[in-house]
């Protein structure tokens, strides 16, 4: 079938063997080589078509994007041409990235402009959520660890995308990787668009998508942080399956009122909240800052919790609690006032955060530094005076719930998903169905998860040492920084899983499907693999 690209055509479908539309008389082949097969989408300024490239063997499928001026006004035509050339230039610049479609061709025909791009087969994230439901916290974290490096690359090319949203993020069917599409609203920081009277005719086209675009972008003053805001709104959609319009906003601040609709950890909520700051001044400025914050957030939370325990944990020499007792270290003031001690503590915590931000480079190192400092400040540092002893375990050990298999499965069945920071060692959860469960930073040593359904589970920083996970489904699970030493993962599905910095020392990965997983050769060299192991490249037995 051939498809007519004339928007006024009443019957655009045509037989395969005709060169001219039987309904309106328009030429069917574009640039004498592209045969449109059907429409993929349309808007006020054009449409997107799937097409066959008849000049190449096998007639491969490509995407043809049409930009059509909305008026016969010469100034509008000039603006359309400028937008067209800008998008072509940008795609030529950023299209070298494997997760951005390549520009194959561009041309003008009958005062209409056409871009030809690589076709990415797969579903976009809007379709994925409609089909499979909202993402878990772990699934959204995985999404961010995949998208943010793409965004970091685009910004390094001095380009602002300006239209990041679920419909513009396609999960490639070939390798399960995200692909960022539709650069029609990009802002090139080097060759900024020239303002003229016709610019208002293209404002709706160039500004992005309402609800996903921040205030400064709607005012035609986008910055790199504008893309960060759009990514944050996308995260809210993935977590809730609700658009910004259906969620609504706070009438006083203008912020999206998303928090009542999600069930996520405090540390991740803090990161998301900063991504969605209405004020650019208080928002993350770069993709790298978001990635760093995601890495540090759990440790900062742990440090604050530990310090709160520390305040209530000071004891006198006879073992009784005395909140007014002096501390013979330089950590806190000798003032008897609880408020004063808390103020000193706040300053101390702020100083730690500032010194870490200033002196330590690299996400893993930063996170470990926060953890180490927290450990030092919770009773593991020597040198306390004889008149004061310190315990940081008094409250945490008393009254802690002992989880059994039955309790956990019942809680999950009633809708609970957050089981982070728990001790669950040696539980027998074989063949349990727990998709999207949050076991972040939990103790799961020697747990039996054979044949369990754990797709999109959040197992970041979890201790899974010597866990039995044979034939478990960990599709798109988040396992960043997890300890999988000695774990038995034979035959497990880790397709699309995130194993960034996970410890795989002695792990058995024979027959594991790691296609599209985030994992390095160095990590795999520590594990046991065989010819049946599917590597991230999709090939068996070798990288």
At residue 160, the 3 state secondary structure works out as strand
Q: At what angle do helices 287-313 and 137-156 cross, to 10 degrees?
A: 130
Helix (H) or strand (E) holding 142: helix 137-156
Q: What's CA 454's distance to the chain center, in Å? A: 19
Q: Are strands 122-124 and 314-316 parallel, antiparallel or unpaired?
A: unpaired
Within 13 A of 388's CA, how many CA atoms are on the CB side?
21
Q: Which residues have a catalytic role annotated? A: 163
**Sign (positive or negative) of CA dihedral 285, 291, 292, 297:** positive
| Cβ proximity of 316 and 388 under 8 Å | yes
Distance CA 37, CA 170 (A): 20
Q: Which of 320, 340, 322, 321 is nearest to 332 (CA)?
A: 340
- What are the distances in angstroms from CA 451 to CA 59, 428, 431, 433, 474? 43, 11, 5, 9, 10
Distance CA 374, CA 309 (A): 12
Backbone angles phi, psi at 168, to 5 degrees: -100, 15
| Cβ proximity of 169 and 176 under 8 Å | no
**8-state DSSP, 406:** H
């Amino acid at each position: 079938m051939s498809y007519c690209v004339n928007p006024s055509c009443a019957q655009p479908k045509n037989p395969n063997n005709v060169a001219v539309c039987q309904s309106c008389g328009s030429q069917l082949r574009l640039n004498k080589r592209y045969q449109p097969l059907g429409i993929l989408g349309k808007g006020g300024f054009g449409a997107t078509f799937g097409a066959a490239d008849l000049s190449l063997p096998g007639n491969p499928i490509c995407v043809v994007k049409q930009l059509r001026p909305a008026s016969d006004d010469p100034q509008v035509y000039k603006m359309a041409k400028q937008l067209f050339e800008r998008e072509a230039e940008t795609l030529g610049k950023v299209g070298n990235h494997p997760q951005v479609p390549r520009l194959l061709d561009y041309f003008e025909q009958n005062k209409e402009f056409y871009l030809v791009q690589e076709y990415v087969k797969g579903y976009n994230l809007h379709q994925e959520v409609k089909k499979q439901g909202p993402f878990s916290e772990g699934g959204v974290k995985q999404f961010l660890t995949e998208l943010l490096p793409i965004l970091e690359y685009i910004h390094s090319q001095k380009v602002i995308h300006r239209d990041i949203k679920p419909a513009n993020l396609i999960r490639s069917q070939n390798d399960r990787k995200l692909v960022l599409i539709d650069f029609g609203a990009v802002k090139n920081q080097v060759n900024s668009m020239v303002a003229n009277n016709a610019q208002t005719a293209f404002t709706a086209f160039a500004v992005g998508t309402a609800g996903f675009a921040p205030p400064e972008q709607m005012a035609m003053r986008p910055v790199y942080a504008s893309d960060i805001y759009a990514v944050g709104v996308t995260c809210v959609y993935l977590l809730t399956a609700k658009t910004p319009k259906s969620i609504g906003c706070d009438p006083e601040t203008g912020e999206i009122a998303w928090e009542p609709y999600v069930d996520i950890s405090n540390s991740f909520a803090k990161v998301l909240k900063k991504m969605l700051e209405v004020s650019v001044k208080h928002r993350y400025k770069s993709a790298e800052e978001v990635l760093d914050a995601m890495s540090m957030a759990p440790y900062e939370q742990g440090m604050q919790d530990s310090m709160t325990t520390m305040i209530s944990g000071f004891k006198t020499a006879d073992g009784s609690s005395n909140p007014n007792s002096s501390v013979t270290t330089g950590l806190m003031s000798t003032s008897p006032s609880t408020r004063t001690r808390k103020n000193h503590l706040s300053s101390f915590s702020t100083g730690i955060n500032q010194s870490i931000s200033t002196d330590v480079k690299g996400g893993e190192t930063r996170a470990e530094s926060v953890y180490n400092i927290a450990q030092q400040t919770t009773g593991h540092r020597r040198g306390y005076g004889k008149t004061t002893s310190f315990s940081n375990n008094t409250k945490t050990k008393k009254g802690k719930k002992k989880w059994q298999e039955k309790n956990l499965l019942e809680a999950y069945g009633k809708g609970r998903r957050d089981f982070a920071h728990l001790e669950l060692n040696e539980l027998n959860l074989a063949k349990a169905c727990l998709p999207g469960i949050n076991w972040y930073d939990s103790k799961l040593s020697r747990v039996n998860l054979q044949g369990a359904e754990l797709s999109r589970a959040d197992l970041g920083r979890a201790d899974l040492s010597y866990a039995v996970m044979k034939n478990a489904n960990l599709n798109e699970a988040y396992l960043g920084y997890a300890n999988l030493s000695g774990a038995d993962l034979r035959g497990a599905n880790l397709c699309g899983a995130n194993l960034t910095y996970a410890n795989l020392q002695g792990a058995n990965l024979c027959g594991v499907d790691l296609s599209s997983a985030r994992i390095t050769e160095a990590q795999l060299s520590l594990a046991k693999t065989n010819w049946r192991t599917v590597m991230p490249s999709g090939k068996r037995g070798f990288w």
